[in-house]
Amino acid sequence: MDEFEAIKITDYMGLNQREASKHMGISQQTFSRVLRSGRKCLAEALINGEIIKVHGGVFKVEKMPGGH
């Protein structure tokens, strides 16, 4: 789930890694590893035509001002 959160707050919400690591309460180095791992899993799933499931917890996705 940390990988999903890392991708969401950097790639979707637009925070940089320093801001995102503070948001998640982890070091920037750890955040970078989590993000890289999440992006790799996501890319593998997309390339291999796998089903992507997000489960657990309560999620709310908000659009950032000026976002898509």
| Each residue's pLDDT tens digit, 19-45 | 999 999 999 999 999 999 999 999 999
The full DSSP string for the chain is -HHHHHHIIIIIT---HHHHHHHHTS-HHHHHHHHHHHHHHHHHHHHTT------SS-----PPTT--
Taking the CB of residue 37, how many other CB atoms lie within 10 A of it? Answer: 14
0.85 exceeded by pTM: no
Residue 64 has pLDDT above 60, yes or no: no
Domain boundaries, the chain: 2-47
- pLDDT tens per residue across span 11-20: 999 999 999 9
